[in-house]
Amino acid sequence: MLFTDDELASYPGAEGITPETTQLLRRLAQARIYALVPPEIADTSDVAAGIGMEVVARAYRNSEGYATESIDDWTGRRGSVAGLPGVYLTDQERADLLRLLPETSRSSVRSVRLRSWSQR
């Protein structure tokens, strides 16, 4: 599990989420994260936990994906671009998660020059 209910309840922007909604959004966020990083890596990472909590809080705060909100003569902007509705990972979150994966060694793969039959 990426984070506990208590951790999410104290995360800014996630206050007041019902237990049912918490379970649903956590399951959807974990599915997105585990699709990129195996649970054994993600579950031990504070980076993955933080991303998971932000994904849940963002989905809760802006479930419709609105970029601006207007009430009477007041207009507020949520971000520079319209957000996506629902549970998603941003490009930066995806890049941060992929950095958690162990590097594959490139030193074990080397080029080998082959001689042709005509060079014998």
Separation CA 24–CA 22 (nearest Å): 6
Separation CA 78–CA 52 (nearest Å): 20
Output the pTM of the full model. Answer: 0.71
**Per-residue pLDDT reduced to its tens digit, 8-20:** 989 998 888 899 9
**Per-residue pLDDT reduced to its tens digit, 89-119:** 999 999 999 999 997 444 455 566 666 666 5
Side chain identity, residue 102 = P
| 3-class DSSP assignment, residue 6 | helix
Q: Domain extents for the chain?
A: 5-100
Picking from 44, 50, 52, the residue whose alpha carbon sits closest to that of residue 89 is 52
> How many CB atoms lie under 10 A from the CB of residue 3?
20
